Amino acid sequence: MSEEGTPHVAYRAVLLAAGLLLFGLLFRQLVTLLLAILITIVVAIPLATAATRLERRGVPRPLGALLALVSGLGVLALIIALLIPPFVDQTNEFVDNVPNVVDDLEKLYADWTGQDPGQVGDRVQHFFEKWTDDPEKLIGPITSIGLNIAGVLAALVLILITAYYMAIRPEPLVDGLVSLFPPQRREHARYVLERLRVSWIGWMEGVAVDMLATLILLWIGLTIIGLDYAIFFAVLSALLVVVPYFGSIAGAIPPVLFALTDSPGKAVLALVVYVAVQQFESNITIPIIMSQRVRLHPAMIAIGVVVVGQLFGFVGLFVAVPILSLIVIVVEEFWVKPIEESDRRKRLGQIELPSSGQLDDRDHHPDHDEDHDQDLDDDPEAGQLHRGAPTR
C-alpha cells in the first residue's frame, strides 16, 4: 500500500469507529421507540392486506381496514372470553397452592441432595429477588421510560390507531422509504419490501396456528394424564410459543415441577406430553406453515433470539423472528446478491469468445468442405438424409 493511501484508510477507519460508537449510543436511547415502530408495522401489515382484498370487492379501503381491525379485536375478545374465566380460576387456585408446592419441592430437593429444606427455600427466594429487585433485567429498556399498566394500555391503543392509519394509506410511506434509494435501485427496494411483507405475514400465520395447536394439544395431553391446572399450563405455554425454542422450554418447566410434587411418574408423563407437542411443532407446524415463508435456519433463530433478548429485553423476544428476517433479507439483497452478481460478471468476462477470424476460418478451407461432401457421397444413407434436409 502506498504512503499516500495509508492516511486515507486510517481516516476511514476512525470515521467508521466513530460512526459505530454514535450508532450504539443512539440505539440504546432509541431502542424502545424502534421496538414500538416495529410492532406497529407488524400490526399494520395484516390490516393493509385485508383492506386490499376487501377493496378489490368494492369495499372502501378505510372501511376495510376498520373491519379487519374490529374483526381481529373481536376474535381476541372471544378467545379471552372463552379462556380467561377458567384460566383466571385455575391461576388463582395455583397461586394459592404455590406455598404447598414450594414446600413439597424443597423437601424433595432436600431428600435428593441431603441439604436442609430451609436453605433450599432461601436459595429459591434469593433467585427470584434478583429479578424483582431489578426488573430491568427482565423487561430491558422499557423500564427506562417508567411505563405502568396505564402507560402500556395507552401505548397499545396508540399502536393500533397508528397501524390503522398506516393500513389505510401505505403508499406514501412506502414511496417515501423507496425514494431514499437511487432511482436505478428503487424497483429492487420495492421487491425487498415485498419480501419482508410476505415473510412477516408468514410468521404471523405460523405463530397463530402454532399457538392454537399448542393450546389444544397440551390441554388434551395434560388432562389425559390427570394433571391439575391443565388449562393454566396450556395457555401459558401457548403464549410462550411466540419466543422460538426457548419459549417451549420455559413453558414446560412449571408443569413438570408441579407434577413432580405429585409423583416422579406423573412428572415423566408431563415431560412426555411436552416433548410430543414440541416434536409436532418442529416437524409439522413450523416447517409447513412458518419456515417455508420465513426461511430462517433453526440455529440462526436460536442464536438470534439470545442476541435480540440482550438488545431489546424481554419484550423484544416476542418479535425476534421479524427482526431476524429483516436482517437476513437486507443482508442477502444488498450485500450477498451484489457480490455474487459481480463474481458472475467477472467469470463471464474471462470467457474468451471466438474471434471473427475463427468464425470465418471455415470459408478459407474449401478442402475441408470437399472432404465432407465426399464422405456424404461414400455413405449413401447419410447423403440422402443430408440432401433431404429442409433448407432455411
Q: What is the DSSP string of 112-169?
A: HH---HHHHHHHHHHHHHHHHH-THHHHGGGGGGT--HHHHHHHHHHHHHHHHHHHH-
Q: Which of 208, 194, 203 is nearest to 52 (CA)?
A: 194
| CB contact set of 197 (below 8 Å; sequence gap of 6+) | 45, 49
Q: Show me where the domains of the chain are located.
A: 184-349
Q: Give me the pLDDT at residue 48, please.
A: 92
Mean pLDDT throughout 143-156?
63
Round to whole Å and give the CA distance between 335 and 341.
Answer: 10
322-355 confidence digits (pLDDT tens): 888 888 888 888 888 888 888 888 888 776 555 5
Q: Which of the two residues, 67 and 365, has the higher pLDDT score?
A: 67
Q: Give me the pLDDT at residue 61, please.
A: 93
Q: Give me the pLDDT at residue 228, please.
A: 83
Q: Give me the pLDDT at residue 288, please.
A: 59
Q: Which of the two residues, 209 and 217, has the higher pLDDT score?
A: 217
Say what percent of the chain tops pLDDT 90.
17
Mean pLDDT throughout 100-123?
62
**Scanning the structure block, which residue is given the C-alpha cell 408423563?**
269
Round to whole Å and give the CA distance between 316 and 319.
Answer: 5
- Mean of all residue pLDDT scores within the chain: 75
Which cell is 160 given? 393500533
Q: Give me the pLDDT at residue 165, please.
A: 92
Secondary structure, 3-state, 110-122:
HHHHCCCHHHHHH
- Confidence (pTM): 0.66
- Write b or e for each residue in 72-100: b if 16 or more Cβ atoms lie within 10 A of its Cβ, otherwise e: eeeeeeeeeeebeeebeebbeebeeeeee
| Beta carbons of 217 and 280 less than 8 angstroms apart | yes
Mean pLDDT throughout 15-34?
72
Which cell is 138 given? 427482565
Round to whole Å and give the CA distance between 143 and 80.
Answer: 27
